[in-house]
Chain A
Amino acid sequence: MKGILKLAYKLVVNDKSKFTALLAGITFAVFLMMFVTSMFGGVMNHSAATVINIGAPIWVMDPSVENPLNTVGIPDYVLDAVRSMQGVKYAVPLYSGSALLKLSDGAYQPAMIIGLDDTSLYGRPELIQGKIQDIYAEGGFVAVKDADFPKLGNPHIGTEFELNDHRAVVVGIAKVSTSSLFGLPTLYTTYYRCLQYIPNPRYTISYVLIVPQSASDIPRIKEQAKALGYLALTKDEFIGRTVDFYIFHSGFGMNLLIITAVSFIVGLSVSGQTFYTFILENLERFGALKAIGTTNRELVSIILFQAAFTSLTGYGLGVGLCVTLIGIAKLRMPEYAAMVTAFSVIVPFLMVVVITAISSYFGVRRVLAIEPFEIFRG
């Protein structure tokens, strides 16, 4: 069979114009699909930045919350109630909101403010400059060094700014795994400082963060939160809810669907048509092979191998091209949103499998239908 497959390989590769067209079609389709899914993955990752960076296993929130930026205040008694729930190891409040800063040069800059539990500082970022205990100092804030950091005027420890006429000072520089989606710099401080500095509605807790005693306690905690009228989600569920929001309640999902469909149609029409033409051009020769003594099984193997080889090569090129371009973009812009995920690799692969199956199905049908007798008849 190895020799037959080598024959199949040479038949398709030596037809340089068609092979190039096949590869170009598949490569372009894979690139397009992988790029858009990578962009989608990256944006979704950034959209859930707060959830990822804080990293709490369970988040309790108002049931109407659809994503981390859309917070609805929770009354203080919920925190007490959660702390008394069975299976909860400990629970802390989290403030998440935005505020307008007045920088030292007089410019105003909106920023994302995260207020950590004063006692535990649960969810604090990793500091690259300064000491975390300085966050308790008067007006102490930790600035996150991400792509939006320069918008704060590239602050250093000791840099001062104003927040609602309150003096604030940078006491630490931190790094986080994921920067926020909408281009706002991020500052961390304590929960109670947020209440002091930022005008707030009646209920001030954005989320109650829970660490369960064990993973098996999670369902029970969720039930108890539900009985209380609130929603408890695991970290992954909250990220998933955020992704769902952007897919189903923004134009993102439809755009993703359209580009996916376009790339599929381009891939299928270019590659499928070219492959089918390749089969048609060689149809009589396949008939001659049949007359010589090639079995139907061997002919099917030849066609499937040719389709699979071209598709996988195109897939590899498409993935390589996409990864290279995203890599170059990230070198130039470290916070470039695109992110290659398993999803963005698997979806184009599945598309290629479908294109291969459809292309080879029609080719196989034609080749199996040809009668060697027709070859004799010319």
Chain B
Amino acid sequence: MLRTAIHASGLVKWFGEGEAKTTALKEVSLEAFFGEMLYIVGPSGSGKTTLLSVLSGILRPNAGNVSVEGADIWTLDANQLADFRLNKLGFVFQDYHLFPRLTTAENVAIPLILRRIQWDKALNDATKYLDIVGLHGKAELPPLKLSGGEQQRVAIARAIVGQPDILIMDEPTASLDGETGRAIVGFVRENILNDHRCIVIVTHDSRIYEYADRTLEMEDGRLTAAKKVQDEN
């Protein structure tokens, strides 16, 4: 029995007013479950990133609602939303957004520090997570001394160090070559995904589609198709 992680229904989001009005999401509904790796795919401008932002409590929809583990997140105020994102979600950004002047361990420790965990303990935990993502011995290096794939692993470590229930990954392979991209996503599937975690990935990189449990296709602000990878196989 699959447990629902995210439930979204009737999501509508538009930008601008009058003639400049653009509707990015048109009555989008979906469910994501714990233990699955859900892909949202589609061409540029199809509304993937907008959907991801709405699902993760970053962008307020004009209509519809989003429940995470049964709680409607868009009834929360700004501080409660920040708290929700900090404690329930982990983010991996397309460009990593690591602080170049901090060490990799300090970068990874940021979510823990924001949770008021003591500095030394946060760094210890961060170092352990760097080991988990295969960056043993690189805790003291600045991110710029690492390769693109390694920086992506640092970003993943930062996303999971707080043990979030839901991991949000935005174009995780966009800055990586094919082999490294596949290795990273394969690693996430093997080591990060578990029965208590849901991973939502926005991508248009077809080279990594094989790792998805389920893929939702978007076009022009609507979900056009949903399929299980196993169905194809």
Contact between A293 and B114, CB atoms less than 8 A apart: yes
Contact of B118 among A3, A288, A290, A292 (CB under 8 A): A3
- Residues of A1-28 whose CB lies within 8 A of B: 1-4, 6-7, 10-11, 14-15
Interface size for chain B: under 10, 10 to 19, 20 to 34, or 35 or more residues?
A: 35 or more
Answer yes or no: B176 CB below 8 A from chain A CBs. no
B122 in contact with A375 (CB, 8 Å): no
Task: Check if A14 sits within 8 Å of B110, measured CB to CB.
Answer: no
Q: How far is the CB of B212 from chain A (nearest CB, A)?
A: 20
Q: Which residues of A contact B170 (CB under 8 A)?
A: 376
B114 adjacent to A292 (CB under 8 Å): yes
Given contacts A3-B118, A291-B85, A292-B110, contact A11 B102 (CB under 8 A): yes
A196–B231 Cα gap in the complex (Å)? Answer: 123
**Cβ contact within 8 Å between A3 and B59:** no
Q: Are A292 and B91 in contact (CB under 8 A)?
A: yes
Asked if B113 lies at the interface with its beta carbon under 8 angstroms from chain A, I say yes
Interface check B58, CB cutoff 8 A: yes
Contacts of B94 in A (CB 8 A): 376, 378
Known: A11-B102, A288-B97. A376 touches B113 (CB 8 A): no
A285 within 8 A of B: yes
Q: Which of A59-67, A154-162, A294-302, A333-341 participates in binding chain B?
A: A294-302
Identify which of A284, A290, A296, A373 contacts B53 (C-beta below 8 A).
A373
Report the separation of the CA atoms of residues A108 and B98 in the bound assembly, to the nearest whole angstrom. 77
With A1-B116, A376-B170 known to touch, is A11 a contact of B101 (CB < 8 Å)?
yes
Q: How far is the CB of A338 from chain B (nearest CB, A)?
A: 39
Chain B residue numbers with a CB within 8 Å of A57 are none
Once the chains bind, are A291 and B58 in contact (CB under 8 Å)? yes
Contact with A along B71-103 (1 / 0, CB 8 A): 000000011001111110101011101110110
Q: Report the separation of the CA atoms of residues A295 and B57 in the bound assembly, to the nearest whole angstrom.
A: 13
Most buried by B among A2, A284, A373: A373
Given A291-B85, A292-B111, A294-B82, answer yes or no on A3-B102 (Cβ-Cβ < 8 Å): no
Q: Please, which residues of chain A bring their CB within 8 A of the CB of B106?
A: 7, 10
Docked complex Cα distance between A376 and B203 (Å) = 12
Partner of B86, one of A11, A284, A293, A296: A293
Q: Is the CB of A375 within 8 A of B102?
A: no
Which B residue sits closest to A7, measured CB to CB?
B113
- Contact of B114 with A294 in the complex, beta carbons under 8 Å: yes
A291 contacts B119, CB within 8 Å?
no
Asked if residues A284 and B102 are in contact (CB atoms below 8 Å), the reply is no
Alpha-carbon distance between A290 and B78 when the two chains are bound, in angstroms:
11
How many angstroms between the C-alpha atoms of A6 and B113 in the bound complex? 9
Q: How far is the CA of A15 from the CA of B100 in the complex (A)?
A: 9
Q: Are A4 and B58 in contact (CB under 8 A)?
A: no
Q: Are B116 and A282 in contact (CB under 8 A)?
A: no
- Residues of chain B within 8 A of A373, CB atoms compared: 49-50, 53, 58-59
Of the candidates B50, B85, B99, B119, the one whose C-beta lies within 8 Å of that of A293 is B85
A363-378 interface bits toward B, Cβ cutoff 8 Å, 1 = contact, 0 = none: 0000000011101111
| A375 CB contacts on chain B under 8 angstroms | 93, 97
The 8 Å CB contact of A284, one of B58, B95, B116, B119, is: B95
What CA separation (Å) do A377 and B15 show in the bound complex? 14
* Contact, CB under 8 Å: A376 / B95: no
Contact of B52 with A by CB under 8 A: yes
Q: Which of B56, B58, B91, B101 has the most CB of A within 10 A?
A: B101
Asked if B30 lies at the interface with its beta carbon under 8 angstroms from chain A, I say no
The answer to whether A298 and B99 touch across the interface, beta carbons within 8 angstroms, is: no
Option from A11, A285, A294 in Cβ contact (under 8 Å) with B97:
A285
Taken together as a complex, chains A and B put the C-alpha atoms of A251 and B198 apart, in Å, by 74
Is A296 in contact with B78, judged by CB distance below 8 angstroms?
A: yes
B71 to chain A, nearest CB (A): 16
* A1 proximity list for chain B (CB < 8 A): 116
CB nearest to B98 among chain A residues? A285
CA A282 – CA B119 in complex, angstroms? 22
CA distance A126 to B116 in the complex (A): 64
Q: Are B116 and A288 in contact (CB under 8 A)?
A: no
- B170 nearest in chain A by CB position: A376
- Residue of A2, A7, A284, A289 with most chain B CB atoms under a 10 A cut-off: A7
Residues from chain B with a CB closer than 8 A to the CB of A15 are: 101
B117 on interface, CB distance cutoff 8 Å = yes
Q: Known contacts A3-B116, A6-B119, A376-B58; can you find 10 more A-B pairs with CB under 8 A?
A: A3-B117, A3-B118, A7-B110, A14-B101, A285-B98, A285-B99, A289-B110, A293-B111, A373-B53, A376-B49
Binding site for A on B (CB under 8 A): 49-50, 52-53, 56, 58-59, 78-79, 82-87, 89, 91, 93-95, 97-99, 101-102, 106, 110-111, 113-114, 116-119, 122, 170-171
Where the two chains meet, the residues of A that have a C-beta atom closer than 8 Å to any C-beta of B are: 1-4, 6-7, 10-11, 14-15, 282, 284-285, 287-298, 371-373, 375-378
Closest 10 CB pairs of A and B: A293-B86, A288-B97, A14-B101, A3-B113, A293-B85, A373-B59, A372-B58, A295-B82, A373-B53, A293-B82
